[in-house]
Chains A and B, each alone.
Chain A
């Protein structure tokens, strides 16, 4: 693959959390407009990979490199990464009572605009877009005025992550188990939101346990992660194989 034009390029990455190696020599390249899925058993390092990309302070880089848009990702702070277009959908979204969902989204959007030297979005434009996106993913307007994720059900929190993603229009969306805890209807609406964003300039890294979500969003590549390494890559049919056979046959070899 041509690394020069790639969006994200991870080379021989080793990451530890609390002095325990979790990611152990991982290589991955994502090009503009591609959808990648990472699957793998519990504890294989999927969430750590997502957190490392977002810049979570508990992830300690032992070796390797990550280049994003041709820049060294490790030179960028958490917020700089976000403003450069990296978005992580949390597996367990955080509740922030006292901060309304709307105010939160506006602050995030304006932070991005500020970093790009743009003017703040007008209240009218912001609300119009917010309302539209909330409709696409079937979120009740009432949730917009509540505290961020405050008292939201698991499914509502995940929808809220997708809403944030749609508002921020990232270049690279890393969705950590966004499908877990969703019923079929919610899964469809979330997939709607995702598919509405598939464009040449937006790429996805979907971290998932099951191939359920992949039935709605067809990935270009599927990778299997085990013990901190990618042990198998393939096209979307790999996901089906995994569903049939489990991970055992790959992990053993």
Chain B
């Protein structure tokens, strides 16, 4: 039974299970080799538990259990390319769906987007995935590699400014293990907009891995909505590297899952790189959202700004773990980290832990964390203007979220988030 495996301190992946992970079915030699290596490493790793500081507030056990259960089952979704909701590309919107372990789409993809399956030049995937192996050692990243059957790569050309939104929709209508893998390479002086949308309607385990490399003067506008059914599990790991003068702008909204865990690691490796993270998380019922951020200032004059807001209802729980590291050589660093939480029920819980680790004196760094219920003075102010109490409460909850959404500059994405707000917080 899979449950028994979990009780062990190490991943127990014996030979008989290998078939279940599809290793024998892979016809690409390098990928098979990569998976074998990954599997070997995974076996030596400890299973994370609440004893690990990083997992202190999230009970990972049920997730791991489900993950292995589903991996062995290998269920296949009925989703077909001809499903009516699959949209055609338009001038300003590219739609890519991830289902049944593969990326699919209508028509052709622009030349800057490739998938492992459709690409004739697999060398580049091989290089990038091997590069990952050097960089990532977490068990869940390894699991992603072990499970992956397709990879989506977005690689801009030098000076290429792409004024389209790349929609990546991860969807499923059956219970399955989903391991999307995304590689983003922004070459010098290029820019792009990506919108990742997680939409699953069954108790799936999503274990996504995204690698982003922004070269000199490049700009990435990155949006993410995680909207999953309550029985689902969501794990995502993003590793982001920012070179000189490059800029990352991230807006995300996580409505929670049984367990939803978002790890974002950002390295500001060269001068003047900057990152702006804005996020809302709004679990209801017994859902759980865990945000783990690690921002490393490794060069001078870089900026980071984090604004995370939680809206927690019922018995939901949330975690904010934010870590900003400033290296000795990162002079003239500016960093601001905020976490504000609205607790809408006596049973909702938030654990927040902002951490600054600074190794030089030439910095401007601040952090703040607040948690509380709706402000009675604001409530009274609205009621004194004739607005009913429940309406007033809703207005205040929405205004709390709107402050984040109002910062979105792209009008199309702003509208998308505004519509989502009306849908989620009514």
Q: Mark A129-172, 1 if CB is under 8 A from B, else 0.
A: 00000000000000000010000000000000000100010000
User: Within A68-84, which residues are at the interface with B (CB < 8 Å)?
Assistant: 77-79, 81-83
Max chain A Cβ within 10 angstroms of own Cβ: one of B381, B391, B401: B381
Q: Cβ of B380 and Cβ of A108 under 8 Å apart? A: no
Please report the C-alpha to C-alpha distance between residue A88 and residue B386 in the assembled complex, in whole angstroms. 11
Nearest CB in chain A to that of B400: its residue: A98
Q: Mark B381-405, 1 if CB is under 8 A from A, else 0.
A: 1111111110110011011111100
Contact pick for A82, options B383, B391, B400, B402, CB 8 Å: B383
Nearest CB in chain A to that of B403: its residue: A98
Nearest CB in chain A to that of B375: its residue: A94
Q: Cβ of A168 and Cβ of B380 under 8 Å apart? A: no
Q: Does A56 contact B (CB under 8 A)?
A: yes
Interface size on B, residues (CB 8 A): 24
Q: Does B43 contact A (CB under 8 A)?
A: no
Known A-B contacts A98-B400, A99-B395; A112 and B386 likewise in contact (beta carbons under 8 Å): yes
Known A-B contacts A98-B399, A98-B401; A164 and B381 likewise in contact (beta carbons under 8 Å): no
Q: Does B377 contact A (CB under 8 A)?
A: yes
Contact pick for A54, options B376, B384, B402, CB 8 Å: B384
Q: Cβ of A96 and Cβ of B384 under 8 Å apart? A: no
Write the nearest CB–CB distance from A51 to chain B, whole angstroms: 9
Q: Cβ of B386 and Cβ of A82 under 8 Å apart? A: yes
Q: Cβ of A97 and Cβ of B381 under 8 Å apart? A: no
Please report the C-alpha to C-alpha distance between residue A79 and residue B387 in the assembled complex, in whole angstroms. 6
List chain A residues, Cβ under 8 A from B353: none
Q: Does B378 contact A (CB under 8 A)?
A: yes
Write the nearest CB–CB distance from A192 to chain B, whole angstroms: 22
Q: Cβ of B386 and Cβ of A168 under 8 Å apart? A: yes
Please report the C-alpha to C-alpha distance between residue A32 and residue B403 in the assembled complex, in whole angstroms. 42
Interface size on A, residues (CB 8 A): 28
Q: Cβ of B385 and Cβ of A164 under 8 Å apart? A: yes
Nearest CB in chain B to that of A109: its residue: B386
Q: Does A40 contact B (CB under 8 A)?
A: no
Q: Cβ of B381 and Cβ of A79 under 8 Å apart? A: no
Q: Cβ of A57 and Cβ of B398 under 8 Å apart? A: no
User: Within B361-385, which residues are at the interface with A (CB < 8 Å)?
Assistant: 376-378, 380-385
Q: Cβ of A94 and Cβ of B377 under 8 Å apart? A: yes
Q: Does A115 contact B (CB under 8 A)?
A: yes
Q: Does A111 contact B (CB under 8 A)?
A: yes
Q: Does B406 contact A (CB under 8 A)?
A: yes
Please report the C-alpha to C-alpha distance between residue A115 and residue B403 in the assembled complex, in whole angstroms. 29
Nearest CB in chain A to that of B377: its residue: A94
Write the nearest CB–CB distance from A1 to chain B, whole angstroms: 27
Q: Cβ of B381 and Cβ of A94 under 8 Å apart? A: yes
List chain A residues, Cβ under 8 A from B392: 79
Known A-B contacts A79-B386, A79-B388, A107-B387; A93 and B395 likewise in contact (beta carbons under 8 Å): no
List chain A residues, Cβ under 8 A from B376: 57
Q: Does A55 contact B (CB under 8 A)?
A: yes
Q: Cβ of A79 and Cβ of B389 under 8 Å apart? A: yes
Q: Cβ of A98 and Cβ of B386 under 8 Å apart? A: no
Q: Cβ of A98 and Cβ of B378 under 8 Å apart? A: no
Q: Does A216 contact B (CB under 8 A)?
A: no
Q: Cβ of B380 and Cβ of A107 under 8 Å apart? A: no
Q: Does A210 contact B (CB under 8 A)?
A: no
Q: Does A126 contact B (CB under 8 A)?
A: no
Contact pick for B395, options A57, A78, A107, CB 8 Å: A107
Please report the C-alpha to C-alpha distance between residue A81 and residue B384 in the assembled complex, in whole angstroms. 8
Q: Cβ of B381 and Cβ of A115 under 8 Å apart? A: no
Write the nearest CB–CB distance from B408 to chain A, whole angstroms: 13
Q: Cβ of A93 and Cβ of B403 under 8 Å apart? A: no
Please report the C-alpha to C-alpha distance between residue A2 and residue B377 in the assembled complex, in whole angstroms. 36
Known A-B contacts A94-B378, A98-B406, A111-B391; A82 and B399 likewise in contact (beta carbons under 8 Å): no
Max chain B Cβ within 10 angstroms of own Cβ: one of A55, A88, A94, A164: A94
Please report the C-alpha to C-alpha distance between residue A93 and residue B381 in the assembled complex, in whole angstroms. 8
Contact pick for B386, options A56, A57, A108, CB 8 Å: A108
Q: Cβ of A90 and Cβ of B381 under 8 Å apart? A: yes
Write the nearest CB–CB distance from B397 to chain A, whole angstroms: 10
Q: Cβ of A56 and Cβ of B400 under 8 Å apart? A: no
Nearest CB in chain B to that of A93: its residue: B381
Known A90-B381, A164-B385; 10 more pairs at CB < 8 Å: A78-B380, A78-B384, A79-B383, A79-B392, A83-B386, A90-B384, A96-B399, A98-B398, A111-B391, A147-B403
8 interchain pairs, CB-CB under 8 A = A57-B376, A94-B381, A98-B403, A99-B402, A104-B382, A147-B399, A147-B403, A168-B386
- Top 5 nearest A-B pairs by Cβ distance? A98-B399, A82-B386, A98-B403, A99-B399, A108-B385
